Amino acid sequence: MANFGYPTPNYLPQNVAQHEQSSKKSTSRPAQADDIEAVEHKKEDENLREKRFLGAPIISKSSTSGHFGSTSPFFAEIKRCLNLKLDGVPSKNPTLIPMMVEKAAEGIIEEGKQIGKERRAEKIASALREKKDAGMEEVWKQCVYLYTSENFLYESLNSMMKSVGDKEQEKIWKNKVPILGPFCLLLMDNPFKKETNEKNIIYRGANMVAEQIGQYEEMAKDKNSYKSFQVYTSCTRSRKKAKALGNTLFIMEVLTGSVIDLSPYSKYPKEEEELIPPGVCFHVKSAEFDRKENRYTINLELQKKISILEKAAIPVALSTVAKKHIFFAYAKDDESGAPIVKKLKDHFIQRRFRVYHPRQNEDVNTKIADGIEKAAAVLVFPSLALETSKPGLKLLNYADQTKTPIINIKICEDFQPMAWLGAILAPAKSCSTDFDEVIQTMISMGIKTGDLVLERGEKNEPQPIQEYLFQGETNSGNLKASYYQSDKEFPMKFKFLGLKDRKVFGQGDDKDGVFTLAGEYKIENMLGVIEMKKEYVGKPPVTYKGNMLFQELNCTIEGQWKMDDVSDKFVMHLTLPKSYTTHMETMAPPKISRKQGTKVMISYCPCQVDLAQKITKGLIAKGIPAVCPPMNVREMIKTAVQKARVVVPLMSKAYEASNTAKHVLSYVDEAGIPIVPVKAQNPYSQSGWLGVICAGALWTQMTNANEFEKTLDDLIKQLQPYMIDCDNQEEQNNVLVDEEFIEGYYMESGEEIPFDFDMFSLINGYIAGEGEDDVGSFVINGEYYSSSDTEDLKFEFEKQYIEKYSIQYFGIITEEDSVLFFDGRWSRGDLSDIFHLEAPTFEPTESEKFHIMLSYNWSHQQKVKKIANKLKEKKIPIWFDIDGDMKGNINSAMANGVEGAAMIISFNTVAYSKSINCQKEFTYATQLKKTILPVLLENEKSFQDTWLGKAIESLEKVNMENESEFDSSFDVILQHIEKACEEKVKEDDDETEVITRFEGGAVHGEYYERDQSFDMTFDFFSLIEGSVAGQGSSNDIAFTITGDYDNEGNVSFTKQYVGKHAVEYEGILHCDEFGGFKIEGKWYTNNATGDFYVESIDDTNDDTNDDTNDDTTSNTS
């Protein structure tokens, strides 16, 4: 064995060396017996089994980059394969136990067939099946016993898990999931939840060579490096027993409960086994040689499976809390007043204010309880009919007594209320039926109108009445209940039992005395689970757990009761008041506490940039927080999610024709963000998609530049109800995902169909996105939150095809190695199936802005590694292939490294000059005009005549040939890095985003040659974010166009005739206020030139039927 620079005289302890020698001599295998209780050979000593307890931990192939793994991809695949629901583990849903045990048994038999141990597998399966009706605790105990026994289960499971993460092995291990997955899930689903105590120490032995130990030494240097266990890893609480195995001792400190104590139920309890499940993370504290112990010790810190989901401030589902609303008090039979009330109420509803909606046939007492008590204001519309109304008298007297704010809305100036109505309205503030005046009156009374705006996703509709699922007693004949003990039946006589809103409550008596009963139930797809606690006076409580089965009017509850170590079955028969249907237990989603936006967002199209910025600056100057996002769909939707309290679209013909505007405002409408339109063109009447979204909205006209200040004040008046309680402070956003492309699929009719998103974001509790597929363009809007009833993160969103139908999605989110997994179901009408999405988590770090790329040939890796480590010590972000930056396709990874670099350090040698990949990196960096610092590791003359020598000839170089001058040379490298980073920051600050001018549409052009004009027919043309793109034909010859333009209007592009020559074009861009443009300039070839133009075509009909004029500043569309 080579030295490797480590102490070797006593490298292996004597007992380990002897043990290894004896192991090599013995080739006998443990005898296999037919009886399940006798499959183990007798152990003559209490040593640990090498097969399980010897060996370095198998580490997951991807680093967690500072975040901890949450769920192993293996277990995520098990859940997907078994099509499990949100609570799809047996310990949470006992109805799954028999089915899961049977699947596990069938899988064990199938595995036995495949490896030639069918007889053995049948005995294991039989032992497991014996426990399928005994409850999850007994099932789990049996799983532990079987797993710790000497059989093929341990080897098969871990062999499968070792291949997770290996693309070449992916098909193999996924094919094993239906076979071994059910048993694996049962083993992980510990119903006792008795994980090891905090700060517990566990041990594992390993035989390791210097190279392996060196890897742990490197990991110990990075305080932010976390890895995760890939397979089940057996450890022991006995340091002495672990020391007897191998030359290296792993000492693992369990910071939080993350490993499972198997010893009470193990076949070999003296091994004191603690099991580390896949996905548990660890950090290497130290790796060093302990001369006293005469072995290497590697200290690990084990962390519970914490994910970025737990680190982020995720909204939590709260119990439903009543929110204030506006109550309209009027007489429905007042023929003249009722239409006026309806018109004003519609204004409030359209502007997304919370309005009280009585339920059908609701009595006056309920209206008082739900309507008046929760009203922020009562709008009273006095009339003779109201004055003579008994319900009106009761309602308004109660509002007066409770001091609920009352506003007198005068629908008839000549009417003077008398009697009780006159007395109540005498001190009240009065106003007309004008919406703005009503709002201003409310504000003057100190009513926070911003609190009356509906939250995103909330609707103006009556709240459902929660009915009893069951309500009865034993004497009424609709309830019969008994429990069993020692084969005897004992009746339970209930004086009352109720099941309502997932709660159970009741009282009664049995042979042991009077009791009370309380608990919870949950129903899904006509099957339910129930858990109750029966309490006696002065006696220990009894726990009841069971399943609920429904058949028309009958509900049968069967299960097990347990008191200490005594248990038996129970049964209850309920006759329901009406046949159970799935919608009876449908509940409104829980209210979510999440951040609301604080700004006015301006939504505009390319030709409205100047007006949008002018309005934004004007609002800010008048104390209204406002934002004008970049002209980009993704950024606009993100801004709406993060910052918008209200959105102002600049309605015009060009805005209506803009795909960007269409996607953004469709998302805003779907998300329920209030919309206050501005009419930016006259004459103009919105139609199509814009007409639908803005129907009934109060708008402000801003078409006269001379009246800008006046119309801005009119706009502020419309915005004030939403913004009165907002401030201009920037809030910290919690961003989980911010991606343009994500991977995923949904199932339909047995076919796996890929998702196609152009953006997907999870921000501040909201889900937002947009894209286009075969059905058409769509936006998505939804929410994610944590809930007290599950450890998983829940989500739900709606995919709205613009101007078409919508599809609902819901499920749970898990995380592994900084990737979020979305698993759940989609539904539309009677159609439903599963779907799966994967999105990388958002990690805002300095290295996202830029890094230093190390380009080298592997023959000099050790020296480059030394430099890389010193750069890390200086907190300098680097791109280094062996640090995991070379992921996936080698060319794509290389391109990412170069493109994101502030500087490339090329470590120059003869081997570097001969490497094709090194030449690719260097050449690509040169093409992108990146700063390159050549570092000479060998004499420059040895490669002076190569491409490398010529490339670096004029560049400033750093010589690192002499090891004795390493430190001084490294300081010179640091100076170059500092300079490059400063220049990069300045370059980024100076970089101005180029405005999108034309998103695509009808375009025509001509070019001139020798006094003749030639048409250019375009299939497509766009001017987006500084890029010119298009394709078409001229003289029946196809061409493509690529080029650039800037905000000053300078345009240059190349017209490439397919398979032929190219022509260069240069010109000036002119844009009009209606979204049109024209480019005029010159074209050039080697020996010719001429004029050209390209212009947009207005293919929409002029709208001359507008019913407004220049003097009108506010109206309803």
Both tokens of 349, joined, read 């509803």
Signed CA dihedral, 907, 908, 909, 911: sign only: positive
Please report where in the chains the tokens 């129903």 appear, as a residue. 523
pLDDT at 509 over 80: yes
Q: What percent of the chain has pLDDT over 90?
A: 28
86-104 pLDDT per residue, tens? 456 788 778 889 989 999 9
Signed CA dihedral, 458, 463, 464, 466: sign only: positive
CATH code for the structural domain at 846-990: 3.40.50.10140
What pLDDT is recorded for position 5? 33
Q: What is the CA radius of gyration of the chain?
A: 37
The gap from C-alpha 905 to its chain's centroid, in whole angstroms, comes to 37
Q: CA dihedral defined by 854, 855, 860, 861, rounded to 10 degrees? A: 50
Q: How far apart are CA 672 and CA 770, in angstroms?
A: 16
Burial of 217 (0-12, 13-18, 19+ CB in 10 A): middle
Question: What backbone phi and psi angles, to 5 degrees, belong to 1094?
Answer: -135, 130
pLDDT at 4 over 80: no
Q: What is the mean pLDDT of residues 894-922?
A: 86
20-57 pLDDT per residue, tens? 333 333 333 333 333 444 444 444 457 889 888 988 88
Burial of 663 (0-12, 13-18, 19+ CB in 10 A): buried
Paired residues of 794 in beta bridges? 785, 812
Fold classification of 468-585 (topology level) = Lipocalin (2.40.128)
pLDDT at 2 over 80: no
Nearest CA to 310 out of 822, 732, 792 is that of 792
Both tokens of 578, joined, read 């009406």
316-365 pLDDT per residue, tens? 554 445 578 999 999 888 877 889 999 999 889 888 899 988 776 666 65
Residue 1103: band (very low, low, confident or very high) from pLDDT cuts 50, 70, 90: very low
Name the class of domain 325-452.
Answer: alpha beta
Nearest CA to 401 out of 424, 430, 426 is that of 424
CA separation, residue 36 to residues 28, 33, 112, 137 (Å): 21, 7, 15, 20
Q: What is the mean pLDDT of residues 94-118?
A: 92
What pLDDT is recorded for position 1107? 42
CATH code for the structural domain at 594-648+660-673+684-723: 3.40.50
Cα angle value 75/76/80 (rounded, 5°): 115
Burial of 650 (0-12, 13-18, 19+ CB in 10 A): buried
Core vs surface per residue 17-32: b (16+ CB within 10 A) or e: eebeeeeeeeeeeeee
Q: Order of strands across the sheet with 295-303?
A: 227-228, 281-290, 295-303, 248-254, 200-206, 233-236, 273-276, 260-261
What pLDDT is recorded for position 494? 92
Name the class of domain 735-840.
Answer: mainly beta
Residue 12: band (very low, low, confident or very high) from pLDDT cuts 50, 70, 90: very low
Core vs surface per residue 220-252: b (16+ CB within 10 A) or e: beeeebbbbbbbbbbbbbbeebbbbbbbbbbbb
Cβ–Cβ contacts within 10 Å for residue 197, how many? 10
DSSP string, 909-939: -HHHHH-HHHHHHHHHHHHTT--EEEEESS-
Q: Which CATH architecture has domain 1003-1096?
A: Beta Barrel (2.40)
- DSSP for residue 455: P
574-628 pLDDT per residue, tens? 999 887 776 555 444 444 445 678 899 999 998 888 899 899 999 988 888 898 9
pTM for the model stands at: 0.51
Core vs surface per residue 905-936: b (16+ CB within 10 A) or e: bbbbbbbbbebeebbbbbebbeeeebbbbbbb
Q: How far apart are CA 683 and CA 714, in angstroms?
A: 19
Q: Specify the higher pLDDT residue, 218 or 1050.
A: 1050
Which of helix, strand or coil describes residue 825? strand
Q: Are strands 743-748 and 751-754 parallel, antiparallel or unpaired?
A: antiparallel
pLDDT at 7 over 50: no
Core vs surface per residue 941-951: b (16+ CB within 10 A) or e: eebeeeebbeb
What pLDDT is recorded for position 937? 92
CA separation, residue 816 to residues 66, 416, 470, 889, 1091 (Å): 12, 70, 43, 21, 59
Nearest CA to 647 out of 621, 666, 630, 631 is that of 666
Which of helix, strand or coil describes residue 946? coil
925-960 pLDDT per residue, tens? 887 788 999 999 999 899 989 999 999 999 999 999
Which of helix, strand or coil describes residue 648? strand
Mean of pLDDT over the chain: 81
Both tokens of 342, joined, read 């309806």
Q: How far apart are CA 494 and CA 508, in angstroms?
A: 4
414-457 pLDDT per residue, tens? 888 888 888 889 899 999 999 989 999 998 998 888 888 887 76
User: Do the first three CATH levels of 468-585 and 1003-1096 match, i.e. the same topology?
Assistant: yes
Fold classification of 36-306 (topology level) = Toxin ADP-ribosyltransferase; Chain A, domain 1 (3.90.176)
Cβ–Cβ contacts within 10 Å for residue 460, how many? 16
Reported as half-sphere exposure (CB side, CA atoms, 13 A), residue 714 has a value of 18
Q: How far apart are CA 722 and CA 645, in angstroms?
A: 7
Residue 890: band (very low, low, confident or very high) from pLDDT cuts 50, 70, 90: low
Please report where in the chains the tokens 């008041």 appear, as a residue. 577
pLDDT at 1004 over 70: yes
Instruction: Please report, for the chain, the start and end positions of each structural domain, with discontinuous segments joined by +.
Output: 36-306, 325-452, 468-585, 594-648+660-673+684-723, 735-840, 846-990, 1003-1096
What pLDDT is recorded for position 997? 85
Nearest CA to 934 out of 897, 974, 906 is that of 906
Q: What is the mean pLDDT of residues 832-843?
A: 84
Helix axes 338-350, 435-444, angle to 10 degrees: 70
CA separation, residue 110 to residues 79, 98, 115, 125, 414 (Å): 20, 18, 9, 10, 89
Both tokens of 1002, joined, read 């009808």
